[in-house]
Amino acid sequence: MNKLFYSTITLFTISIFLLFLGGCASSKKFSSDNGTVWGKSTSTIRVNLFNSNLEYSLTAVGSMLLVVDNKKEAIINKNNVLNFSAEGEKVALTIKGKNYIGSEIRLLEANDGQNLFIDGKQLTGYVKVLSSGGKIYFVNVLPFEEYLKGVVPAEMPVGQGTENFEALKAMAICARTYAVIKMNNHAAIFDLYDSVSDQVYGGVNRGNEVSDRAVIETAGMILTYNGNPATTLYYSTCGGRTEDGKNVFESADYPYLVSHDDSSPAYCSVSPRFEWEENYSGDELIKRLTAANLLDAGVNTLKDLLVVSRFESGRVNQLDFRIEGADDSERVVSIYGNRIRGIIRNSDNSAMLNSNWFDVVKTDEGNFILKGKGYGHGVGVCQYGAMTQSKLGKKYRQILNFYYPGTSLKKYDSN
């Protein structure tokens, strides 16, 4: 495996710089109304860029600093190849025949105007390389608010001019609140992933003036409920109605995550996935069930696809597959709720199904058409709805109150 990375090799020592690396920034924590302190320092955040089993190689496209256990330093030059390997709980690194090993390796910008890049992302802070459980982790450690500048435009379209500005501010608060919870709950190696597994982080080169300003103008603000950080789920398009949190995530059973109309006409009707259609043959759907280990391989025929029940929002709760085996035996396979999206997937099998809000149409040829609405799980902020509200002059507080009724805003306690 090979990726581009800024690197090099010329040993030297900068003690003051190492002291800076080992130093601690002032701690910022959140205090609830009853005096409870939420977790650890939020001055920096640890973002897992990727991890690999046992070995990994990077090719330098610029220069950078190498620090091993705060003791050794090198300049890694352009086009150097960095070969990492896991050695128990330590990381071994070989560059042009020179070997390094340590509990922690850090990769930083060199003081020559070169930026730190990985995976096409321009990074600030530094990249920490660790070994744990036979895997090598590449973790970007950076200032918390700078991280948000790379998340907001990666998660929501910036739009033209300032048309989406209030929605972007709401998005910044949602992303900040989500990250605070993850920083409290995640394992010791990193706080969250840089992908849809948590929040998409595009690096500092992903931001622009408008989205950066949205982060700056809401600096330190998080959404709370009963004095604690709220569960600020969000997604692209609700299709006209949001979903109850408890119908999608066991951990999202809160009174502020309740199903409600997205206005009339729906704010998100401008979304390209407000309405959609997917087409499948019966054989293709049988393959999807087999791939999900819900059906044994063999000669099976899909006789019918039936929506058995729906949630109040209209999204499908139970979907039944009526199947006939080679021996003319019949069976029913049922799948439920948001899980439907990951099993059926879209027609070309390249991604999850847009949503679990759809009707089923069976054609005369025995094929199946899903005519659906929305894109995403439907819980919390509908991003296209928020952008429309911004264009209509709604402020970020109004947008947040609409999608998270009963919540409050709170700022960092920096003491």
Domain parsing of the chain, residue ranges: 2-144, 146-264+379-410, 275-373
Q: Give the integer Cα–Cα distance in Å for 186 and 133.
A: 16
pLDDT at 1 over 60: no
**Angle at Cα 407 formed by Cα 404 and Cα 411, nearest 5°?**
120
pLDDT at 27 over 60: no
pLDDT at 26 over 70: no
> Which pLDDT score, from 0 to 100, does residue 54 have?
86
> Which pLDDT score, from 0 to 100, does residue 41 have?
58
Q: Which of 278, 317, 283 is nearest to 303 (CA)?
A: 283
Of 113-127, 355-369, 385-399, which gets the smallest average pLDDT? 113-127
* 106, burial (CB in 10 Å: exposed 0-12, middle 13-18, buried 19+): buried
**pTM score:** 0.86
CB-based contact 317:303 (threshold 8 Å): no
- Mean pLDDT computed over 49-62: 87
> Which pLDDT score, from 0 to 100, does residue 32 have?
37
Report the share of the chain in percent with pLDDT over 90. 74
Tokens in use for 373? 């609405």
Question: pLDDT of 119-167, one tens digit each?
Answer: 778 899 999 999 998 899 999 999 999 999 999 999 999 999 999 999 9
- Mean pLDDT computed over 39-65: 84
Name the band, by pLDDT with cuts 50, 70 and 90, for residue 327: confident
Of 59-73, 156-170, 328-342, 343-357, which gets the smallest average pLDDT? 59-73
Tally the residues of the chain: 415
Name the band, by pLDDT with cuts 50, 70 and 90, for residue 169: very high
pLDDT at 35 over 60: no
Q: Which residues contact 268 (CB under 8 A, 6 or more apart)?
A: 237, 238, 239, 240, 262, 274, 374, 382, 384, 385, 388
Name the band, by pLDDT with cuts 50, 70 and 90, for residue 372: very high
pLDDT, mean over the chain: 88
| Torsion region of 185: left, alpha or beta (phi above 0 gives left; psi -120 to 50 gives alpha) | alpha
Three-class DSSP category at 285 = helix
pLDDT at 31 over 50: no
Report the share of the chain in percent with pLDDT over 70. 87
> Which pLDDT score, from 0 to 100, does residue 298 have?
85
Question: pLDDT of 249-308, one tens digit each?
Answer: 999 999 999 999 999 899 999 999 999 999 999 999 999 999 999 998 888 999 999 999
Q: Which of 95, 88, 97, 96 is nearest to 66 (CA)?
A: 95
Name the band, by pLDDT with cuts 50, 70 and 90, for residue 207: low
CB-based contact 87:102 (threshold 8 Å): no
